Amino acid sequence: MCGIVGYVGGKSAQEVVVEGLRRLEYRGYDSAGVALVHDGAIVGDKRAGKLANLDKALAEAPLPESHTGIGHTRWATHGGPTDVNAHPHRGSRGRVAVVHNGIIENFAVLRAELEAAGHELASETDTEVAAHLLEREVSAGADLAAAMRTVSARLEGAFTLVAVDAAAPDRVVASRRNSPLVVGVGDGEHFVASDVAAFIEHTRDALELGQDEVVTITCDEVSVTDYAGTPVEPRAFHVDWDLSAAEKGGFDWFMRKEIFEQPHAVGDALLGRHDDAGRLQLDEVRMSEDEIRSVDKIIITACGTAFYAGLVAKYAIEHWTRIPCEVELAHEFRYRDPILTRDTLVVAISQSGETADTLMAIRHARAQRAKVLAICNTNGSTIPRESDAVIYTHAGPEIGVASTKGFTTQLVACYLLGLYLAQVRATKFGDEIAAVVDELSAMPARMQRLLDDAETVYAVARELKDVRSVLFLGRHAGFPVALEGALKLKELAYIHAEGFAAGELKHGPIALIEEGMPVFCIVPPRGRDFLHDKMVSGIQEIRARGARTIVVAEEGDRSVDGYADVLLRIPASSTLLQPLTAVVPLQLFACELATAKGHDVDQPRNLAKSVTVE
């Protein structure tokens, strides 16, 4: 959720930190602030609302030059989005300033302790407690790193803390537990941030931190210890995308840019994953073939869009491998006491690799001795590190809060996993697997054809910008696509939208149909005639009751012509792979309708890109 940036180096700390926060705006926030170390004191400003409010305040009352600073974009949890509750927070004497991502679960007890000792806290936040505790430690003679270790060990919950001390102007100290934090390694400068996007303009070399570790950065060095003070050697990695990948490139929204990047992203997700004969080679899957053959149940766990990718994966994996596959919402997984054994494979899908609910789910799975495989886009993030195996999606940065290329590359990773399991377990012949791989390789071109005709979808969206409700219907692998289409519209347009399995219509939802209601209908390929014909029958039923049918059907399918008020053609594909193309017009529709309504497409209200608290 929140964005964090810290900097020590030769440049203006204010400029580096504020620009870093700007690159983290996609994470979602409701206030912003900075704190700099200058001439033995902490100086700074913080404002509720968008970063523009902070920019305006800093322009009107400039801060003095500094080369050490921290900044924060806050998503309110404890206390509303006000100037007072915005970060950074300071200790009682103003010597220490802190920014924080996550939730300190025992803050009420700690606050009561501080107040009993005479501390006066100005805000409603849990973060200010950490600032007072840190300042108490450094005032007693501890250096900032030692103070951070002592305080972090007392805190309960998930958090990243980043702090500066007016008496130590050459350093920034940070602590991480179950919340994202990465170190940027520059030449005579170093960075800490929630995401590499914050410092990608300056360096593409980074270090990943483990759980319960404290990092100190100065101009010249980075040192890491655990909470006991034992030195730790962090893992270095190189970011394989550059600044241009995080910029809009002529598009009005990052989300629209990312929709149009999908052909390239899907192609990248397939690179190096198979040989010329179509035989799969997933080097990241660090499981032996014997371990894979022993798997007798698969449980996919995820949230939001990733959950819908998992629902598609269930159809493919069960069909190709004959292994029973369940799909679980991550935030429900451990609370229902799932049945797990050493032969259960838990597949965790998360774009960021930091989704708190999914992280807690895999920890529960590992405690039950199940195997865990992560599907993730973010190298160095927590979920892949804590998993037994990983398939990276290689989608590049996804800035828009509403996931698009994240979803389609997750689908590709799920397909690759299913085919790899089928290959190892010999449940599909080699030529059958190669045929599916060939079709996957053709998907970027098919997706590009849809994007080349985006104006057709845009026209429908603009025409329907004032509707109050939209329904989405699908069958088989098209049902999760319907759910995803409805989610995108809810996220961006703030109108009622629901996805249904078309077979459920007569069991209740058909009562919602009224004259003129737009209904998207995702028609299965004709190769599955029993599914296709039942879907066409459902379209006839809702149209007879006044629905305005927007039919997504493959090219050449003339059977739907008479029942479609609007017909959106997609390239012909096999049933299991059709979601890769069927979802594209739904993404375009949601993006354009939200634009027509005047909404902020990249930063929808009340939403954050990465949900890092439960």
Please check whether residues 526 and 420 belong to one and the same domain: no
Q: Which of 183, 215, 245 is the last residue of a domain?
A: 245
Please check whether residues 526 and 571 belong to one and the same domain: yes
β-bridge pairing 389-392 and 469-474? unpaired
Does residue 209 sit within a domain?
yes
Please check whether residues 369 and 506 belong to one and the same domain: no
β-bridge pairing 297-302 and 344-350? parallel
| pLDDT tens per residue, range 292-351 | 999 999 999 999 999 999 999 999 999 999 999 999 999 999 898 899 999 999 999 999
Please check whether residues 517 and 503 belong to one and the same domain: yes
Once rounded to an integer, what is the mean pLDDT over residues 63-88?
A: 91
What is the structure's pLDDT at 2?
78
Does residue 613 sit within a domain?
no
C-beta of residue 31 within 8 angstroms of C-beta of residue 73: yes
Once rounded to an integer, what is the mean pLDDT over residues 529-557?
A: 91
Is 2 an active-site residue? Answer: yes
Please check whether residues 486 and 551 belong to one and the same domain: yes
Does residue 610 sit within a domain?
no
Is the pLDDT reported for residue 614 higher than 60? no
b/e code 575-602 from CB counts within 10 Å (16+ = b): bbbbbbbbbbbbbbbbbbbbbbbebebb
Which helix (H) or strand (E) element contains residue 247?
none
Q: Which of 245, 280, 300 is the last residue of a domain?
A: 245
Q: Which residue has the tokens 């989405």?
A: 472
What is the structure's pLDDT at 28?
67
Q: What is the spatial distance between Cα 517 and Cα 393, in angstroms, rounded to a whole number?
A: 37
Question: Which pTM value belongs to this model?
Answer: 0.76
Distances in whole angstroms, Cα of residue 553 to Cα of each of 313, 537, 559 = 21, 14, 10
Which helix (H) or strand (E) element contains residue 479?
helix 478-493
Distances in whole angstroms, Cα of residue 437 to Cα of each of 266, 344, 352 = 12, 26, 26
Q: What is the spatial distance between Cα 602 and Cα 613, in angstroms, rounded to a whole number?
A: 21
| pLDDT tens per residue, range 277-297 | 888 988 778 788 999 999 999
Is the pLDDT reported for residue 132 higher than 90? yes
Local structure of residue 166 (DSSP, 8 states):
T
What is the structure's pLDDT at 195?
85
| pLDDT tens per residue, range 388-426 | 999 999 888 888 999 999 999 999 999 999 999 999 999
Is the pLDDT reported for residue 374 higher than 80? yes
Q: Which amino acid does the sequence have at 217?
A: I
Percent of the chain with pLDDT over 70: 97
| pLDDT tens per residue, range 224-257 | 999 999 999 998 988 876 766 667 778 899 999 9
What is the structure's pLDDT at 445?
96
Once rounded to an integer, what is the mean pLDDT over residues 157-185?
A: 93
Does residue 361 sit within a domain?
yes
Task: Give the range of the structural domain holding residue 8, as residue numbers without chain letter.
Answer: 3-245
What is the structure's pLDDT at 424?
95
Is the pLDDT reported for residue 613 higher than 60? no
| pLDDT tens per residue, range 425-478 | 999 999 999 999 999 999 999 999 999 999 999 999 999 999 999 999 999 999
Please check whether residues 510 and 542 belong to one and the same domain: yes
Please check whether residues 332 and 386 belong to one and the same domain: yes
Q: What is the spatial distance between Cα 312 and Cα 409, in angstroms, rounded to a whole number?
A: 12
What is the structure's pLDDT at 239?
85
- Record the tokens describing residue 75, joined without a space: 């998503």
Is the pLDDT reported for residue 611 higher than 70? no
What is the structure's pLDDT at 27?
67
Q: Say what angle helices 127-139 and 107-116 make with each other, to 10 degrees.
A: 50
Please check whether residues 238 and 289 belong to one and the same domain: no
Q: Which amino acid does the sequence have at 212?
A: D
What is the structure's pLDDT at 256?
95
For the domain that residue 209 is a member of, what is the CATH number?
3.60.20.10
Q: Which of 219, 245, 271 is the last residue of a domain?
A: 245
For the domain that residue 556 is a member of, what is the CATH number?
3.40.50.10490
Please check whether residues 312 and 180 belong to one and the same domain: no
Q: What is the spatial distance between Cα 392 and Cα 168, in angstroms, rounded to a whole number?
A: 40
Which residue would you say has higher pLDDT here, 605 or 325? Answer: 325
Please check whether residues 150 and 253 belong to one and the same domain: no
Please check whether residues 429 and 461 belong to one and the same domain: no
What does pLDDT average to over the chain?
92
What is the structure's pLDDT at 610?
61
Once rounded to an integer, what is the mean pLDDT over residues 560-566?
A: 92
When pLDDT is cut at 50, 70 and 90, the band that residue 564 belongs to is very high
Q: Which amino acid does the sequence have at 54?
A: L
Q: Which residue has the tokens 């894979």?
A: 292
What is the structure's pLDDT at 609?
66
How much is the CA Rg of the chain, to the nearest whole Å? Answer: 25
- Record the tokens describing residue 122, joined without a space: 């100005």
Please check whether residues 408 and 519 belong to one and the same domain: no
Is the pLDDT reported for residue 13 higher than 90? yes
Q: Going by C-beta distance under 8 Å and a sequence separation of 6 or more, which residues neighbour residue 420?
A: 280, 282, 285, 292
What is the structure's pLDDT at 246?
67
Domain total in the chain: 3
Q: Going by C-beta distance under 8 Å and a sequence separation of 6 or more, which residues neighbour residue 295?
A: 323, 343, 344, 345, 371, 421
| pLDDT tens per residue, range 169-182 | 999 999 999 788 99
Does residue 604 sit within a domain?
no
Q: Going by C-beta distance under 8 Å and a sequence separation of 6 or more, which residues neighbour residue 608?
A: 1, 27, 28, 29, 75, 401
Does residue 490 sit within a domain?
yes
When pLDDT is cut at 50, 70 and 90, the band that residue 29 belongs to is confident
Phi, psi of 165 (to 5 degrees): -125, 125
